[in-house]
Amino acid sequence: MFNETKKSIQWGNETLTLETGKVARQADGSVIATLGETSVMANVTFAKSAKPGQDFFPLTVHYQEKYYAAGKIPGGFFKREARPSEKETLVSRLIDRPCRPLFVEGFKNEVLVMATVLSCDLVNDPDVVAMIAASAALTISGVPFMGPIGAARVGFANGQYVLNPAMDDMTQLRNNAEQRLDLVIAGTKDAVMMVESEAYELTEEEMLGAVKFGHDAMQPVIDLIISLAETSAKEPFDFTPPDISALYAKVKAAGEAQMRAAFAIRDKQERTNAISAAAKAIVASLSEEEQADINLGSAIKKLESSILRGDIINGGARIDGRDNKTVRPINVETGILPRTHGSALFTRGETQSLCVATLGTGEDEQIIDALNGNYRSNFLLHYNFPPYSVGEVGRVGSPGRREIGHGKLAWRALQAVLPAATDFPYTVRLVSEITESNGSSSMATVCGSALAMLDAGVPLKAAVAGVAMGLILEDDGKWAVLTDILGDEDHLGDMDFKVAGTATGITTMQMDIKVAGITPEIMAQALAQAKDGRLHILGEMAKSITGPAKFSAYAPKIETMTIPTDKIREVIGSGGKVIREIVETSGAKVDINDDGTIKIASSDAAAIKRAYDMIYSIVAEPEEGHIYTGKVVKLVDFGAFVNFFGKRDGLVHVSQIAGKRLNHPNEILKEGQEVKVKLLGFDERGKVRLGMKMVDQETGLEITPEKESAEG
């Protein structure tokens, strides 16, 4: 019934298995990849013809995590998987980015890749397994895909690279003192195609070593996919890349001069309008048949690319007049918004980010419902890219894959310099509003967000800056690395390589390659130029940082205290009665963690003190010999009961009220009277014994025997 094929290798500490032919047989390609006990099914389907007039490659990748894979039921009201989570969106991008450049140029048939997590052992992260499964499914599907690609995760602990570290080591990287890197890499047998990383100030040499380590480690995976394809691949789809040489020659002859003049304009908007006008003029000069050719757009793009790339590779200036290593002019302003907790406007050339920092309490932490359990995040970064930032009209909706991906990249860049939660018990939310864009708005977000946090008084370990690098790589082997790329250089170039970090080291690195051919020499050059650019930007940022900023008057103040875990129930009270009373009485927010850490927050210092004192009176134990201020709550023949410590009462015996004999306590005291008492000790039944006569009732100081004799 089934024509099943299964291939396995030992990969690192686990067995990697690829199997096909049993499940989803109507898909063009279906592979289940299993690493340990983590299994991901990838299914590929593609249209056998392009839609009429289709002028782009419509590849769609969906990565889905099914909660049953980890034996969980989804949270929420509907109890089923709904819209993609942030991780699902990010992993979809991880699969798409290295695969997209490997489809044969000119192929414009619709392709759908779906990767579904079927089982998760909570040790092996399914993201790398999904990339391998998708690569294998594409390779055997018959689609014109010049793969396969392999993938691997690389850690760096105790000076050693680690292949595919466990999920627990990676999920909370900030809390892992030994693990300093979470890097995901994908590539072909000969070249690296994609890198995504989160690091703790690693050097350029250490990051380059991680890339080489990961590329070497994925080679057995590529061989395994090839082995599977040798027995299970379908016949290659009959597709011949279109020959656009004749059309390109006509396009070049019709509009090269006007297009070259357009690219010589320095201002982005003027240049964009001029390029658009040149393209329209080219189209107008062609015959109706040539205008209807679906490859016309590709021919015009090839002309644009040849102009931009040719000038640079031949040693000329870039389209904005810079050389290959110069960063565009930078302007920095902080504290520009009066009511926010922290703000910064970072402008680099024609790219601008307005970043705002907001400080919150434990109530503002984000609860993340993931396959490997629920956890809380006290650092949030949200990136917005409205149409007006590039002078366009467009729909505005919920965040797309670009917004989520760029926001996560900036998040990774900044997480390494955040203070420990014990030192700075705030939830920090950053929002980057991209108000202008012409290249690397994500790196502008990194710079602006660091400045906004410093403006808000967040004690960062160091400032962070980021820069985007580009590459022009020609068929004859000539190449040039570009610092701080423009949008056109990203669009028409061969690499988008973003590096962010402190003056000490790298905190994130993201690389996407559009051609299979980048060498270690090119990557080393890109890292070296990126370091120079990063240090330059940090120097410009430092001019606006005069020292630690004061907290905004509108930001909450937080004080922490730690109580024994067995006292948590007393502070909360039955049904939360006690904690509600504390909040209502004091006016402060109170957040209690399971480890006994309590965060008290308010913009009013007096409210924090009231809440602190109320909690302290519940959890602390009165100490023998200490003097307390209390209130008489009841008078009896043999003494007075005094409430002196929270809700603790004690007896002042009639003989301990005054330095003279009393027939009844009411001779001196009355109910509700405030008195100063000394804790004398506890009787055999644990009852509290208090005394008044040895305490000066006006000053609250103890009366020494010498003072008592002098007064007598």
Burial of 700 (0-12, 13-18, 19+ CB in 10 A): middle
What does the pLDDT read at residue 544? 87
- Within a domain: 598: yes
Q: How far apart are CA 712 and CA 705, in angstroms?
A: 10
Residue 324 within any structural domain of the chain? no
Q: In this predicted model, what pLDDT tens digit does every residue of 112-145 receive, in sequence order?
A: 999 999 999 999 999 999 999 999 999 999 999 9
pLDDT class of 384 with cuts at 50, 70, 90: very high
- pLDDT tops 50 at residue 46: yes
For residue 573 the two structure tokens come to 């009270």
The CATH number of residue 639's host domain is 2.40.50.140
Q: 634 lies in a domain? A: yes
Of 540, 535, 445, 521, nearest to 483 (Cα)? 535
The last residue of a domain, from among 565, 585, 619: 619
Residues 135, 57 share a domain: yes
| CATH (domain of 114) | 3.30.230.70
In the three-class reduction of DSSP (H, G, I as helix; E, B as strand; rest coil), residue 85 is classed as coil
Nearest Cα neighbor of 441 from 361, 355, 515, 375 is: 355
If one counts the domains in the chain, the total is 5
The 3-state DSSP composition of the chain as helix, strand, coil percent (nearest 5) reads 35, 30, 35
Query: What's the average model confidence in pLDDT over 59-79?
Result: 91
Is 217 domain-assigned?
yes
Which of 577, 603, 619 represents a domain boundary (last residue)?
619
**Is 496 annotated to bind ligand?**
yes
Whether residues 581 and 609 fall in one domain: yes
Task: Give the distance between the most distant pair of CA atoms in the chain.
Answer: 121
Lowest mean pLDDT of 46-60, 491-505, 509-523, name the range.
509-523
Q: Quick one: tokens of 650?
A: 């004690």
Instruction: Give SS3 for 227.
Output: helix
Same domain, 31 and 98: yes
Phi, psi (rounded to 5 degrees) for 706: -65, -45
pLDDT for the residue 125: 95
CATH number at residue 266: 1.10.10.400
User: Tokens at residue 257, please?
Assistant: 């001069």
Q: Nearest 5 degrees, angle CA 258-CA 259-CA 262?
A: 90
Per-residue pLDDT at 488 exceeds 90: no
Quote the pLDDT of residue 706: 55
23 in a domain, yes or no?
yes
Identify the burial level of 341 via C-beta atoms within 10 angstroms of its C-beta, where 0-12 means exposed, 13-18 middle and 19 or more buried.
Answer: buried
The Cα–Cα gap between 569 and 577 comes to 11
Same domain, 533 and 585: no
What average pLDDT does the chain have? 90
- Asked if residue 425 belongs to a domain, the reply is no
- Edge to edge, what strands does the sheet with 59-65 contain? 5-11, 14-20, 29-35, 38-46, 111-119, 59-65
- How far apart, in whole angstroms, are the C-alpha atoms of residue 215 and residue 435? 38
| 515-524, 542-551, 607-616 — most confident range | 607-616
Residue 708 has pLDDT above 60, yes or no: no
Q: Which two tokens stand for residue 476?
A: 């004859």
State both tokens at 45.
């389907």
How many other CB atoms are found less than 10 A from the CB of residue 474? 14
Does 684 have pLDDT greater than 70?
yes
171 with 38, same domain: the answer is yes
- Residue 441 is predicted with a pLDDT of 94
88 and 162 housed in the same domain: yes
Contacts of 457 (CB under 8 A, 6+ apart): 341, 342, 548, 549, 550, 551, 552, 555
pLDDT average, residue stretch 8-23: 96
User: Is the CB of residue 84 less than 8 Å from the CB of residue 60?
Assistant: no
Residue 203 · residue 506 · CB < 8 Å: yes
Least confident of 12-16, 87-91, 420-424, 480-484: 420-424
Last residue of a domain, one of 264, 283, 313: 313
125 and 15 fall within a common domain: yes
When pLDDT is averaged across residues 17-46 and rounded to a whole number, the result is: 97
Mean pLDDT of 460-482: 89
- End-to-end distance of the chain based on CA atoms, in angstroms? 110
Pairwise CA distance, residues 504 & 202, whole Å: 8
- What average pLDDT does the segment 50-56 reach? 84
- Phi, psi angle pair for 385, to nearest 5°: -130, 85
Q: With cut-offs at 50, 70 and 90, classify the pLDDT of residue 494.
A: confident
pTM: 0.85
Nearest to residue 632, comparing CAs of 615, 608, 649? 649
pLDDT value of residue 705:
63
Percent of the chain whose pLDDT exceeds 90: 56
Q: Same domain for 571 and 475?
A: no
Q: Please state the rounded mean pLDDT for residues 188-209.
A: 94
Task: Examine residue 606 and state whether it is found in any structural domain, yes or no.
Answer: yes
The boundaries of the domain holding residue 287 are 245-313
74 and 160, same domain (yes or no):
yes
* Cα 308 to Cα 487: distance, rounded to the nearest angstrom: 12
> What's the mean pLDDT in 56-65?
95
516 burial via Cβ count (<10 Å: 0-12, 13-18, 19+): middle
pLDDT of residue 603: 82
Does 294 lie in the same domain as 149? no
Could you please report the per-residue DSSP string of 76-99? SSS-S--SPPHHHHHHHHHHHHHH
**What is the per-residue pLDDT across 216-258, written as a single tens digit (0 to 9) for each?**
999 999 999 999 999 999 999 999 888 888 898 989 898 888 9
8 Å CB contact between 453 and 430: yes
Burial status of residue 243 (CB atoms within 10 A of its CB: 0-12, 13-18, 19 or more): exposed
Lowest mean pLDDT across 225-229, 374-378, 608-612: 374-378
CA atoms within 13 A on the CB side of 350: 19
- pLDDT at res. 30: 97
CB 160, CB 202: distance < 8 Å: no
Task: State how far the Cα of 610 lies from the Cα of 595, in Å rounded to an integer.
Answer: 22
Pair 696, 589 in one domain:
no
Specify the pLDDT at position 175: 63
Q: Which residue has the tokens 């009462």?
A: 649
Angle at 77 between CA 73 and CA 82, to 5 degrees: 70
Q: Provide the pLDDT for residue 678.
A: 92
Where is 360: in which H helix or E strand? strand 351-360
3-state secondary structure of 208: helix
Same-domain check for residues 386 and 270? no
Give the Cβ contact number of residue 704 at 10 Å.
10
**What does the alpha-carbon distance between residue 416 and residue 528 come to, in Å, rounded to a whole number?**
21
* pLDDT, mean of residues 205-213: 95
Which pLDDT belongs to residue 213? 97
Predicted pLDDT at 361: 87
Question: Which residue, chain included where needed, has tokens 């949270």?
Answer: 75
pLDDT band at 712 (very low <50, low <70, confident <90, very high): very low
Question: Rounded distance, CA 293 to CA 108, Å?
Answer: 13
| pLDDT at 547 (0 to 100) | 65
Distance in angstroms (rounded) separating the CA atoms of residues 153 and 171: 13
**Contact 428/350 with Cβ under 8 angstroms?**
no
Q: Which residue has the higher pLDDT, 192 or 648?
A: 192
What is the reported pLDDT for 173?
63
Q: How confident is the model at residue 410 (pLDDT cuts 50, 70, 90)?
A: very high
